């Protein structure tokens, strides 16, 4: 039993003891160049029974805003982009505009809107990465879970989640089973997860590879379903070494486009954009990954090394290595520097742009997140035990993607542009954890 | 595409399970394993926040847990 500065308090929160744990945290995220910023408070509560039953619940809120790359290439001349404004068919007057946008009047379009409506137009300066500054969203999510021993089975459980933002909704359900073997030095587990998402983008669902426009689209939403499992083995190898090996499989079917993202069609000799099309991604995606985590306790140092290999049916493969080193200074304070290296290959339908005069491929996206790049994360965490029952911690991280902004086959003016729209971001995470009876 | 991954998985699982009667500390040697920081999910909110950020900025997700992110951020 841990000793407490309060002397007579019961600070035993281990197995066989009924207790509750409250975790609260705040994430603040900011991208460089005035791009996305996010604030995310989270709250988790778990109630542990003495018999191994655990009830968990969580709440997450998100507020996200900022400029987002729209997928078009930069140009030596200024570019205009138009996108829907206000509600479907709205003709309400608009007195102002934000984020460098202007309001435009749309002529009636056969088959779409019977009357004139309003659209939003934003202009991107020459030699500048096209971004839409009108991006703003809020998200709320709730999760619930239950697990318990069942007869000879060490642990079975199920859970669910619901997440909603202005233009997206996700419902998920999961179940797991785990068995301890070999004096609880080995745990074998299987978890399955299913998710049902609905995308209702502002302006409706654009038809892939049609010209970007400000009209509201006739289709309001599309769905995506997901089914996956994780098979894992956790093994305590020695007094100091814990290892975990997971194999994951995941399958997604349905709408997987980013409805706001476009791709430029450029002139085959000058490289100047001649039109802007909505992107197009396949409806099906299967992915697999192998994840291997190692924790080594060389008191007062705790090393965590995690490796992951990922591969999917879109042609993307990635490698990830994460290392953290926790240094305990007595029982009241610790410092934990961390680093992460990540490298991915491009999806087989990733293109920086499409070339005019050639037939369009069935699928095309210029989303840098589907391109080839390397990302590095550096960070450090500081933790303070307030007493035997609670801990407060702060973690700061810097994240940077590096990619090829100057592909060898770039055409005309594109040779002088940086075509990689990767992310640089800083984040701060404040957390508080409290165990109580 | 799947064969190399399956071989790695099965080899790893076989080593773990076949060797488990011989591998691992005795119950009285688990003092270090009992520490909070040796849990694989010692700080779930931190892991969730990192995974959420990587999910929204990279093409890969999952491995440690389920793939996907329950949001429209990708």
- Please indicate, yes or no, if residue B66 is contained in any of the structural domains: no
Domain-embedded: residue A140: no
Q: Which residues lie closer than 8 Å to A419 by C-beta, 6 or more apart?
A: A73, A74, A352, A353, A404, A405, A406, A407, A410
Is A55 inside any structural domain?
A: no
Let me know if residue A212 belongs to a domain.
yes
* Beta-strand pair A153-165/A19-31: unpaired
What average pLDDT does chain A have? Answer: 91
pLDDT value for A108: 59
CB A437 within 8 A of CB A8: no
Query: What pLDDT, in 10s, does the model give residues A206-242?
Result: 999 999 998 889 999 999 999 999 999 999 999 999 9
Would the CB atoms of A252 and B68 count as touching at under 8 Å? yes
Q: Say which of B37, B67, B74 has its CB closest to residue A326.
A: B37
- Span A356-392, pLDDT tens digits: 999 999 999 999 999 999 999 999 999 999 987 899 9
Q: Which of A110-114, A158-162, B7-11 tops mean pLDDT?
A: A158-162
Is residue A191 pLDDT above 90, yes or no? yes
pLDDT digits (tens, 9 = 90+) for A121-175: 899 999 999 998 877 889 999 999 999 999 999 999 999 999 999 999 999 999 9
| pLDDT tens digits, one per residue of A7-25 | 445 666 767 789 999 999 9
Is the Cβ pair B59, A370 closer than 8 Å? yes
Task: Determine whether A16 is exposed, middle or buried from the number of CB atoms within 10 Å of its CB (0-12, 13-18, 19+).
Answer: exposed
Report CA-CA distances (Å) from A187 to A51, A125, A154, A245, B64: 19, 57, 9, 11, 15
Please indicate, yes or no, if residue B56 is contained in any of the structural domains.
yes
Q: How far is A248 from chain B (nearest CA, A)?
A: 6
Residue B15 falls inside a structural domain: no
A275-286 tens-digit pLDDT: 999 999 999 999
In our burial notation (b when 16+ CB lie closer than 10 A, e otherwise), range A335-350 reads ebebebebebbbbebb
Residue A109 has pLDDT above 70, yes or no: no
What is chain A's percent helix, strand, coil content, to nearest 5? 5, 60, 35
For residue A95, the distance in angstroms to the closest alpha carbon of chain B comes to: 30
In angstroms, how far is CA A412 from the centroid of its own chain?
35
pLDDT recorded at residue A93: 40
How many domains does chain A contain in total? 1
State the burial class of residue A248 (Cβ atoms within 10 Å of its Cβ: 0-12, 13-18, 19+).
buried
A365 belongs to a structural domain: yes
In a domain, A200, yes or no: yes
Write the CATH number for A176. Answer: 2.40.160
Banded pLDDT at A320 (limits 50, 70, 90): very high
Which domain does A287 fall in, by range?
26-31+147-436
Residue A111 lies in a domain: no
Minimal Cβ distance to A195: which of B54, B60, B70:
B70
Tell me, letter by letter, the H, E, C secondary structure of A133-170: EEEEEEEEEEEEEEEEEECCEEEEEEEEEEEEECCEEE
Q: Is A240 left (phi over 0), alpha (psi -120 to 50) or beta?
A: alpha
pLDDT at A92: 39
Q: How far is CA A436 from the centre of its chain?
A: 32
Rounded CA separation A327/A354 (Å): 51
Please tell me the distance from the alpha carbon of residue B14 to that of residue A171, in angstroms, as a whole number: 35
Nearest CA in chain B to A62: B71
Domain span at residue B45 reads: 36-60
**B46 domain-assigned:** yes
Contact B67 A248 (CB under 8 A): yes
Q: Using the beta-carbon criterion (under 8 Å), do B40 and A165 form an inter-chain contact?
A: no
Contact A185 B57 (CB under 8 A): no
What ipTM was reported for this prediction?
0.91
Structure tokens at A320: 């990830």
Domain count, chain B: 1
Q: Give dist(CA A307, CA B60) in Å, integer.
A: 13
Arithmetic mean of pLDDT, A170-184: 96
CB contact under 8 A, B60 and A375: no
In sequence order, the β-bridge partners of residue A303 are A296, A325
**Nearest CB partner across the interface for B5, out of A228, A288, A397:** A288
């Amino acid at each position: 039993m841990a000793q407490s500065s309060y002397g007579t308090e019961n600070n035993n929160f281990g197995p066989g003891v009924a207790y509750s744990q409250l975790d609260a945290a705040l994430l603040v995220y900011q991208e460089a160049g005035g791009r996305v910023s996010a604030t995310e408070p989270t709250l988790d509560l778990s109630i542990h029974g003495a018999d191994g039953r655990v009830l968990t619940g969580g709440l997450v809120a998100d507020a996200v805003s900022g400029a987002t790359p729209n997928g078009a290439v930069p140009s030596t001349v200024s570019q205009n982009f138009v996108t829907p404004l206000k509600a479907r068919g709205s003709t309400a007057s608009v007195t102002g505009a934000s984020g460098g946008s202007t309001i435009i009047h749309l002529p009636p379009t056969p088959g779409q809107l019977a009357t004139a409506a309003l659209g939003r137009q934003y202009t991107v300066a020459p030699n500048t990465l096209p971004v839409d500054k009108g991006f703003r969203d809020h998200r709320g999510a709730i999760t619930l879970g239950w697990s318990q021993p069942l007869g000879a089975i060490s642990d079975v459980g199920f859970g669910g989640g619901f997440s909603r933002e202005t233009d997206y909704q996700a419902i998920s359900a999961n179940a797991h089973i785990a068995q301890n073997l070999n004096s609880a030095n080995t745990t074998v587990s299987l978890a399955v997860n299913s998710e049902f998402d609905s995308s209702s983008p502002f302006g409706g669902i654009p038809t892939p590879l049609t010209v970007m426009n400000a009209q509201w689209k006739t289709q309001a939403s599309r769905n995506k379903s997901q089914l996956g499992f994780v098979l894992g083995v956790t093994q305590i190898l020695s007094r100091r070494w814990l290892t975990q090996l997971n194999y994951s499989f995941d399958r997604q079917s349905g709408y997987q486009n980013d409805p706001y993202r476009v791709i430029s069609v450029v002139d085959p000799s000058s490289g100047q954009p001649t039109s802007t099309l909505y992107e197009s991604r396949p409806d099906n995606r299967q992915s697999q990954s192998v994840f291997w985590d190692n924790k080594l306790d060389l008191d007062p140092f705790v090393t965590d090394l995690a490796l992951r290999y990922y591969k999917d049916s879109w042609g993307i493969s990635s490698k990830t290595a994460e290392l953290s080193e926790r240094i305990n200074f007595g029982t009241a304070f610790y410092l934990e520097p961390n680093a992460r290296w990540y490298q991915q290959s491009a999806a087989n339908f990733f293109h920086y742009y499409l070339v005019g005069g050639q037939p369009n491929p069935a699928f095309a996206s210029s989303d840098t997140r589907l391109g080839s790049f390397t990302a590095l994360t550096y960070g450090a965490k500081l933790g303070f035990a307030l007493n035997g029952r609670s801990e407060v911690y702060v973690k700061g991280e810097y994240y940077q993607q590096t990619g090829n902004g100057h592909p060898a086959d770039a055409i005309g003016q594109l040779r002088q542009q940086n075509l990689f729209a990767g992310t640089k971001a800083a984040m701060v995470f404040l957390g508080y954890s409290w165990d109580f009876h | 595409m799947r064969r190399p991954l399956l071989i790695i998985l099965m080899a790893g699982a076989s080593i773990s399970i076949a060797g488990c009667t011989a591998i691992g500390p005795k119950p009285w040697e688990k003092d270090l394993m009992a520490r909070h920081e040796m849990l694989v999910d010692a700080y779930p909110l931190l892991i969730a926040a990192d995974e959420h950020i990587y999910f929204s900025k990279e093409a890969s997700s999952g491995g440690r847990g389920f793939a996907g992110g329950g949001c429209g951020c990708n």
